[in-house]
Amino acid sequence: MPHRDTLAHLSRLYAASEDPWNHRSSPYEAAKFRETLSAIGPGPFREALEIGCGNGELARRLAPRCRRLTAMDCIPAAAAAARRILAGFSQATVLQGCAPDDLPDIRPDLVLLSEVLYFLTPLEISTLGGWLNRNAAGPVVAVNWTGPTDERLNGAEAVGLLGQTLIMAQTRHFPRFRLDVLWPVQSSIRPR
Ligand SMILES: C[S@@+](CC[C@H](N)C(=O)[O-])C[C@H]1O[C@@H](n2cnc3c(N)ncnc32)[C@H](O)[C@@H]1O
């Protein structure tokens, strides 16, 4: 379970706005979505998972590349907004729950962690890494803002912690964010 003050902070943000980070209108977010989807590639993915989907703006761009997509968020208002925006995609399911405690029993061939890792504690990141090693059958794409966060971890620290459990395959730096591709240790389809 995330720190209580992190959950309270996130709940306050969503109580004030359904789009707290301006994902619907910000050119910066639009450019980041483009780079993220370009790194992910066209798919199709058998079973994709986005952890920390927010109001679903990135998930709705990802959905057409997926045969199944599970999007999850710990804040009920975010999950409700994502459910609304993904309503037209029958392959998409939105769960309200906290990673790593509430992760679904699936074997995703793509996991997207966009601007979510630094909300987790180091122990949660390590537990998440263990779950990914056991369950993921494909890449884990992590996108992180590189400036200061309001949380205990910044983006580089958070993805660095995940990299202690998974294999860091690629890091690309962009103005204000970084994009890391990691692989589960046991994946037989990992590119060399
Ligand atoms: C900055 S938003 C990112 C939304 C989307 N992934 C994107 O990049 O556009 C981060 C989201 O992660 C959610 N979140 C934070 N910690 C989480 C956790 N442990 N489990 C599930 N969701 C979490 C927050 O509620 C928030 O909606």
pLDDT for residue 187 is more than 70: no
CB distance 163 to 126 below 8 Å? no
Per this entry, what is the length of the chain?
Answer: 192
Identify the domain containing residue 149 by its residue range.
4-18+27-183
Pairing of strands 110-114, 140-145: parallel
pLDDT for residue 81 is more than 60: yes
Measuring from atom 24 of ligand 1, which residue has the nearest CA?
52
pLDDT score for 165:
97
In tens, the pLDDT along 21-55 reads 999 999 999 999 999 999 999 999 999 999 999 99
* 30 Cβ neighbours under 8 A, 6+ residues apart: none
- In the chain, what is the straight-line distance between the N-terminal and C-terminal CA atoms, in Å? 35
In tens, the pLDDT along 143-159 reads 999 988 888 899 999 99
- Residue 76 CA to ligand 1 center (angstroms) comes to 11
In a domain, 189, yes or no: no
CA distance linking residue 95 with residue 71, whole number of Å: 6
In a domain, 101, yes or no: yes
Instruction: Please state the φ and ψ torsions of residue 96, each to the nearest 5 degrees.
Output: -100, 120
pLDDT (mean) for 171-178: 96
pLDDT score for 186:
79
* 7 Cβ neighbours under 8 A, 6+ residues apart: 1, 74, 75, 98
In a domain, 160, yes or no: yes
pLDDT (mean) for 86-90: 98
In a domain, 82, yes or no: yes
pLDDT for residue 191 is more than 70: no
What is the number of domains present in the chain? 1
The residues with which 143 forms a beta bridge, in sequence order, are 114, 179
- Residue 62 CA to ligand 1 center (angstroms) comes to 16
In a domain, 108, yes or no: yes
For the Cβ of 158 lying below 6 angstroms from any atom of ligand 1, the answer is no
Tell me, what CATH number does 8's domain have? 3.40.50.150
In a domain, 191, yes or no: no
For the Cβ of 78 lying below 6 angstroms from any atom of ligand 1, the answer is yes
Locus of tokens 């993805």:
159
Percent of the chain with pLDDT over 70: 96
Task: Provide the mean pLDDT of the chain.
Answer: 94
In a domain, 188, yes or no: no
In a domain, 190, yes or no: no
DSSP letters for 69-137: EEEEESSHHHHHHHHHHTTT-TTEEEEE--TTTT--S---SEEEEES-GGGS-HHHHHHHHHHHHHH--
